[in-house]
Amino acid sequence: MANMYYTENPNVEHDIHELNVKLLGESFSFLTDAGVFSKRMIDYGSQVLLNSLHFEKNKSLLDLGCGYGPLGISLAKVQGVKATMVDINTRALELAKKNATRNGVVVEVFQSNIYENISKTFDYIISNPPIRAGKQVVHSIIEESICYLNTGGSLTIVIQKKQGAPSAKAKMLDTFGNCDILKKDKKHKNNSKLFDENLIVYINEVDSSQMLEVMKRGYIEMSQINLELAEECVDEISDYETWLCGV
């Protein structure tokens, strides 16, 4: 488990990538690395969440489990929120700081295991929760959020229907007394193409590296690719739901 993205110090070799993407109609550049969530693409759940959000300028935002920063950074740049971004993963946090600078955004970034180091309240909290970390982590994100929201504030999360959306909705209703669906979306996947794209990436890395070094890290990299595919790309259709609750 030490190499998972939801651990403090993932025990995997660095493998820096650069993503150039459009989010909320603007161009962004992000550095990613092994040991962080969705290093080869902006995952579909995060895109669904991002496209459902319409925040007021200068309001405060907590991006909980920020990873390398695509959500908080893009919302700060495009919608003008004052973003605080936290994660348990120190590698992800270093990337988030660099990515904020790369994209000309001023945000606050620091380490926190869920709300452990949070000492203020926010107008908005958002999260694409780490499902692999377990239901208790997801439920803690929901239950404890009410203590960190200003009056009139809201929590918005995205979750795959098959990975616990009904359970999360029930917890939000129990905590806040209200819960609304902001957006439903389905991702149709061409599995053959996805596996082919990942294979091409791996072959390109082999071509550009010394064979001995590739042999040493090949199994690790392929297992990481397999984990990402299992998490994001295996099912032909994935249902994503974005849920909103507020105080």
Supply the pLDDT for residue 201: 46
Q: What is the pLDDT of residues 155-176, one digit of tens each?
A: 999 988 777 778 888 898 999 9
Average pLDDT value for the chain = 83
With beta carbons less than 8 A apart as the criterion, state whether 85 and 53 touch: no
Quote the pLDDT of residue 72. 98
Query: Which strand (E) or helix (H) includes residue 101?
Result: helix 90-102
Quick one: pLDDT at residue 59?
98
- Residues 188-227: pLDDT tens digits? 444 444 444 444 444 444 454 544 554 555 555 556 555 5
Q: Give the per-residue SS3 of 40-64.
A: CCCCHHHHHHHCCCCCCCCCEEEEE
Residue 118, pLDDT score:
98
The burial of 150, by beta-carbon neighbours within 10 Å (0-12 exposed, 13-18 middle, 19 or more buried), is given as middle
Q: To 10 degrees, what angle do helices 211-228 and 191-207 make?
A: 160
CB half-sphere exposure, 184, CA atoms < 13 A: 7
**DSSP secondary structure letter of residue 216:** H
- CA 51: distance to chain centroid? 14
Higher pLDDT, 33 or 232: 33
What pLDDT, on the 0 to 100 scale, is given for residue 11?
Answer: 85
Per-residue pLDDT, 180? 87
Q: Cα–chain-centroid distance for residue 59?
A: 21
Q: Flag whether pLDDT at 107 surpasses 80.
A: yes
Alpha-carbon span 69 to 112, nearest angstrom: 14
pLDDT, tens digit, 9 for 90 and up, residues 75-106: 999 999 999 999 999 999 999 999 999 999 99
Residue with tokens 């596996």: 195
Output 32 or 160, whichever has higher pLDDT: 32
Report the residue count for the chain.
247
- 133-153 pLDDT, tens per residue? 888 999 999 999 999 999 999
Q: How many CB atoms lie within 10 A of CB 237?
A: 9
Task: Choose between 66 and 212: higher pLDDT.
Answer: 66
Q: Which percentage of the chain shows pLDDT scores above 70?
A: 77
* Alpha carbon distance 96, 98 (integer Å): 5
Q: At what angle do helices 165-176 and 135-145 cross, to 10 degrees?
A: 30
With beta carbons less than 8 A apart as the criterion, state whether 243 and 180 touch.
Answer: yes
